[in-house]
Amino acid sequence: MNGMKKGSVVLLAVAMALSITPFVSFAADFVPVDDIVDVPTEAVAGTPLTLTGSVLPNDATNMDIIWSVKDAGMTGAYIEGNTLYTTAGGTAVVTAAIVGGLEPDSSAQFAIGNNHTVAIKTDGSLWAWGMNAYGQLGDGTTTLRSAPIRVGNENDWVAVAAGYYHTTALKKDGSLWAWGNNSYGQLGDGTTTWRTVPVRIGTGNDWAAIWASTCSYHVFALKTDGSLWAWGNNTYGQLGDGTTTLRNAPVRVGLDNNWASVSPGHDSALGLRTDGSLWAWGNNLYGQHGNGTYSSSSIPVRVGSENDWAVISAGCYYGAAIKADGSLWAWGTYGSGRPGPLGTTPSLVGTDNDWSALSSRYHLDALKNDGSLWAWGLNTNGQIGDGTYINRSAFVRVGEGNDWGKVSASNHTVALKLDGSLWAWGLNSYGQLGDGTTSNKNAPVRIGTDNDWAVTTAVGRAYTKDFTIKVADASDAFVVAFIDWDGTVLKTETVSYGNAATAPANPVWEDHFFIGWDKDFSNVTADLTVMALYTAWTAANKNDAYGIKITSNAHSNDVGQGVVFFWDSKQNEDGVLVVAPEFFDENDSITIVVNSSNEYRKMTISKAGTYYVNKWVDGKGKTHNINMVWLQINK
């Protein structure tokens, strides 16, 4: 039963994030995540890869990355913790998620069971009313309550889910608690003993979200690592653990860590993953899986191939969902007041694209972005809220207000307004409307006069980003080609994965210097083309006081090395450099070599040092000014 506030846009990221975020308070100076970078892009099949990434900014409030496989492709990829395991070459897509990485949202927290209601106030206190024959109100009694009564004295409750005759709730510290009927182990405490006060489920403090259904005896919960857990009745495989065995303690649903939300039906469930894909499991006798069959499954099966599902809600025997574009879809079997053209695959309901929230049992309540509330389906107890007891096969509006913020549906309906007031209508035989009576109501009535039901704890939403990882087979070999400036192939070499290629001898290009290669070839993981890099000879600046400054290593009169000069003299005899005396030791050996074509003169220096050169004297004693100089080291 997901919901968004008035005026919100139906965005996939928002809808999913509301479900996977742990309920952790953040200070006013919360710093959101902008990006995740520096994630590995290559792996070798059969070799574990440690997944790492840099979170930006580096002072984000939450920075712990949770990894999951979005698409294993042919690689057999799976993740344990932050280690990626693969079995074959190919391409895998992994999702990095930071729980609570985005700006905090506000979330109202209330839920309704078969005939009882529970809600949390802004101060973190928990309240309940309605049927209490099984201790589902948690007040230590089995006494019916027709008005809200406080559950204990704690002020650290942050989320609540109500089942058929039981209740589950989450505290701020991440601990999970339950009470009420436990015939199917739905309290998750390892027993089948009923409880009239909250009992803790295990010892973990890493629970993030919980879901139960008003028409079922099974419960789902999400951990902060994105893993999904379930317990309770499992007659039809509705827990999704691959069995039909009753579970009185949490069992994991598969190995995936990318669950966003779950909505249980009577003996089935719908699940939404962080990639926007839709899944179903359990009984499928009425086509409630939406996958085009009537085949039941004890493990999650995908519904279609779309990745744009945003909000899900399972009725007792049907499913409904909103896509990222705000369109509404439904499937399965409804019964009286059938809501539109249902079948075994999702069917579009109407043409509106402004739906934002859903809740369902035998009727369906839905919110629009403008804050208006609509309903259809069974209305024998006035649960539609339109002032009648007429079943509706199409949406009717509930009142005229545009200030509804959240809604929850059962035999009765409870809804929250944006001013923090709580309203209810429908069946009231057990005081579940909370108005102090046991009379049914076919239009909204206010529960007390309080306006502090609106918001619990500010919670950070999840930041997610997908990364593609190329997985190579360790036996792969690749071709490395070294190419010169003009396209000439200097060398090709076949290299095994992860090995280095050997470069050819440095190439030569007239009037240019070879400065290296454009790619690293020390760890070859794919076919590679490597280009030679050059720079043209460039003019040096003349120093007016001392001539040309030359810094050189000693080259022992090796004519093949040194510093190359161009200038405008046409003399072809060997000459002697004339330098500023304070910068030249007469024992240094400096010579000029003139090539036969009179194209350049080459100087070699036998001693390392710095020299300022402004003239040279040729063999005939003629002095020449040096106006332009080109430098080339180690040619």
506 shares a domain with 573 = no
Cβ(200)–Cβ(168) under 8 Å? Answer: no
Question: Quick one: which H or E segment has residue 16?
Answer: helix 12-20
Range with lowest mean pLDDT among 371-380, 408-417, 591-600: 591-600
Distance (Å, rounded) from C-alpha 118 to C-alpha 113?
8
Tell whether 522 and 569 lie within a shared domain.
no
| Of 493, 515, 520, nearest in space to 504 by CA | 493
Boundary residue ending a domain (430, 454, 471)? 471
- The answer as to whether 588 is a domain residue is yes
Indicate if 521 and 577 belong to the same structural domain: no
Would the pLDDT of 501 be above 60? yes
Task: Give the Cα separation of 557 and 186 in Å (integer).
Answer: 91
pLDDT for 334:
62
* Residue 456 vs residues 134, 164, 166: alpha-carbon distances, Å: 27, 24, 22
> Which of 61-75, 580-594, 606-620 is predicted least confidently?
580-594
Most confidently predicted of 8-17, 21-30, 326-335, 508-517: 326-335
Per-residue pLDDT, averaged over 471-487, amounts to 89
Last residue of a domain, one of 455, 471, 487: 471
User: Which of 23-37, 93-107, 486-500, 553-567 has the least mean pLDDT?
Assistant: 553-567
- Tokens linked to 23: 């309920």
Most confident range, picked from 82-96, 243-257, 367-381:
243-257
Instruction: Print the domain residue range for 568.
Output: 548-625
Same domain for 588 and 506: no
Does the pLDDT value for residue 606 go beyond 70? no
Domain of residue 87, CATH code: 2.60.40.1080
Q: What is the pLDDT of residue 100?
A: 66
Q: What angle do CA 117, 122, 125 make, to 5 degrees?
A: 60
Round to whole Å and give the CA distance between 263 and 312.
Answer: 7
> What is the biggest distance separating any 2 CA atoms in the chain, rounded to whole angstroms?
125
- Which pLDDT does position 549 carry in this prediction? 40
CA distance 616 to 625: 7
Q: What is the pLDDT of residue 99?
A: 67
Percentage of the chain lying above the pLDDT 90 cut = 50
If one counts the domains in the chain, the total is 3
23, pLDDT greater than 60: no
Q: How confident is the model at residue 574 (pLDDT cuts 50, 70, 90)?
A: very low
End-to-end CA distance of the chain: 75
In-domain check, residue 574: yes
Position 151 scores a pLDDT of 97
Q: What is the helix, strand, coil percentage profile of the chain, to 5?
A: 0, 40, 55
400 located within any domain: no
Please indicate, yes or no, if residue 493 is contained in any of the structural domains.
yes
Residue 32 lies in a domain: yes
Residue % of the chain over a pLDDT of 70: 75
Residue 97 maps to a domain: yes
Q: What is the pLDDT of residue 514?
A: 81
Q: Which two tokens stand for residue 46?
A: 């059969």
> In the prediction, which pLDDT does 103 show?
60
Distance CA 544, CA 354 (A): 76
Report DSSP letters for 276-341, one per residue: S-EEEEE--TTSTT-SSS---EEEEEE-SS---EEEEEE-SSEEEEEETTS-EEEEE---TT--SS
The mean pLDDT of the chain is 79
Residues 126-154 as b or e (16 or more Cβ within 10 Å = b): bbbbbbbbbbbbbbeeeebbbebbebeee
User: Is the pLDDT reported for residue 585 higher than 50?
Assistant: no
What b/e readout covers 500-515, taking b as 16+ CB neighbours within 10 angstroms?
ebebbeebeeeebbbe
553 and 509, same structural domain?
no
Helix, strand, or coil (residue 18):
helix
Tens digits of per-residue pLDDT, 186-235?
Answer: 999 999 999 999 999 999 988 888 999 998 999 999 988 889 999 999 99
Q: Tell me which of 455 and 243 has the higher pLDDT.
A: 243
Q: 524 and 586, same structural domain?
A: no
More confident residue, 161 or 476: 161
Domain boundary among 421, 450, 471: 471
Average pLDDT over residues 242-262: 94
Q: Are 65 and 104 in contact (CB under 8 A)?
A: no
Same domain, 520 and 578: no
| Structural domain includes residue 250 | no
* Lowest pLDDT segment from 232-236, 254-258, 318-322, 496-500: 496-500
pLDDT at 569: 33
Identify the pLDDT of residue 537: 52
In a domain, residue 396? The reply is no
Q: Say how far apart CA 277 and CA 260 lie, in whole Å.
A: 10
CA angle 12, 23, 261 (to 5 degrees): 35
Predicted confidence band of residue 236 (pLDDT cuts 50, 70, 90): very high
Tell me: do 95 and 34 sit in the same domain: yes
| Burial environment of residue 88 by CB neighbours within 10 A (0 to 12, 13 to 18, 19 or more) | middle
**DSSP bridge partners of 30:** none
Do 27 and 80 belong to one domain?
A: yes
Assess whether pLDDT exceeds 60 at residue 74: yes
Q: Looking at the structure, do residues 518 and 564 belong to the same domain, yes or no?
A: no
Distance CA 105, CA 123 (A): 17
Q: Check whether residue 564 and residue 488 sit in a common domain.
A: no
Phi–psi pair at 307, nearest 5 degrees? -120, 35
HSE-CB of 369 using CA atoms within 13 angstroms: 15
Long-range contacts of 348-352 (CB under 8 A, 24+ apart): 349/320, 350/395, 352/326, 352/327, 352/328
Q: Are residues 17 and 75 in the same domain?
A: yes
The answer to whether residue 108 scores a pLDDT higher than 50 is yes
Are 105 and 458 within 8 A, CB to CB? yes
d(CA 55, CA 415): 39
The mean pLDDT value for 18-26 works out to 32
| pLDDT the model gives residue 101 | 74
**Residue 476: which pLDDT band, with cuts at 50, 70 and 90?**
confident
